[in-house]
């Protein structure tokens, strides 16, 4: 069972429909007990970092999210849901994130006629280190072709302190992190539920973990 965490900010039903089309059993919930008891959890999100953290605190979801992750259960943050995993965001100065991954969320700076927010289809590039692929590929990228196109809609991007958590990047205004992976923790900047076959395959890979 996959818990889809409903804190009032996210494409809950489109994420649920996409996961179920990949064979998942899902439960849309804001119950801490449900989050702790489910096998996997997804944190979607659309909106402002500060507002989202306020809702998560109000609904007393932080301990259950951290306990789920501590128990080594797969956890996926989507777009804003990935941002919330980090320490802080330029979008909401002074507001602390979940701090599960170290780093900040930074704002794109528009330049050369390229607009912010970044909206539309863009390519995913696997991270290479010293000229070689990472020894173990991120499980979300199984059977995903190099330079696959995914759908993005965001003005902010993650800047992890630990570069080893970066599983893929995308080029828009700069080379930014578009997938993070650390142990059982996954985060994607794009919207897999809106990304047609490649996005659905990524969700299928998460379902099969």
Question: Which residues have C-beta within 8 Å of that of residue 88, sequence separation ≥ 6?
Answer: 95, 96, 97, 104, 105
**CA atoms of 32 and 64, how far apart (whole Å):** 5
What are the distances in angstroms from CA 53 to CA 42, 86, 105?
16, 11, 14
Exactly one of 79, 91, 118, 204 is catalytic; name it: 79
Strand partners, 153: 119
Q: What are phi and psi of 153, to 5 degrees?
A: -155, 95
Determine how many CB atoms are found less than 10 A away from the CB of residue 140.
23
SS3 at position 115:
coil
**CA atoms of 126 and 147, how far apart (whole Å):** 8
Question: Which residues have C-beta within 8 Å of that of residue 130, sequence separation ≥ 6?
Answer: none
Strand partners, 160: 103
Tell me if residue 79 is catalytic: yes
Largest CA distance in the chain: 49
Exactly one of 68, 83, 154, 193 is catalytic; name it: 193
Tell me if residue 55 is catalytic: no
Exactly one of 68, 83, 118, 191 is catalytic; name it: 191
Q: Which residues are catalytic?
A: 79, 191, 193
């Amino acid at each position: 069972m996959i818990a889809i965490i409903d804190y009032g900010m996210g494409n809950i039903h489109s994420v649920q429909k996409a996961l179920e089309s990949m064979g998942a059993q899902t439960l849309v919930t804001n119950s801490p007990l449900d989050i702790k008891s489910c096998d996997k959890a997804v944190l979607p999100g659309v909106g402002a970092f500060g507002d989202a953290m306020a809702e998560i605190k109000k609904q007393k979801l932080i301990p259950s999210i951290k306990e789920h992750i501590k128990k080594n259960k797969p956890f996926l943050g989507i777009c804003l849901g990935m941002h919330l995993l980090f320490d802080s965001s330029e979008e909401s100065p002074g507001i602390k994130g979940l701090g599960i991954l170290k780093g900040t969320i930074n704002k794109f700076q528009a330049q050369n006629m390229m607009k912010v927010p970044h909206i539309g289809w863009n390519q995913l590039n696997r991270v290479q280190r010293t000229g070689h692929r990472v020894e173990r590929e991120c499980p979300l990228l199984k059977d995903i072709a190099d330079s696959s196109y995914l759908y993005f809609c965001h003005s902010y991007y993650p800047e992890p302190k630990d570069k080893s958590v970066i599983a893929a990047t995308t080029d828009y205004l700069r080379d930014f992190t578009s997938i993070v992976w650390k142990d059982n923790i996954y985060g994607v900047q794009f919207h897999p539920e809106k990304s047609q076959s490649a996005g659905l395959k990524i969700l299928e890979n998460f379902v099969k973990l």
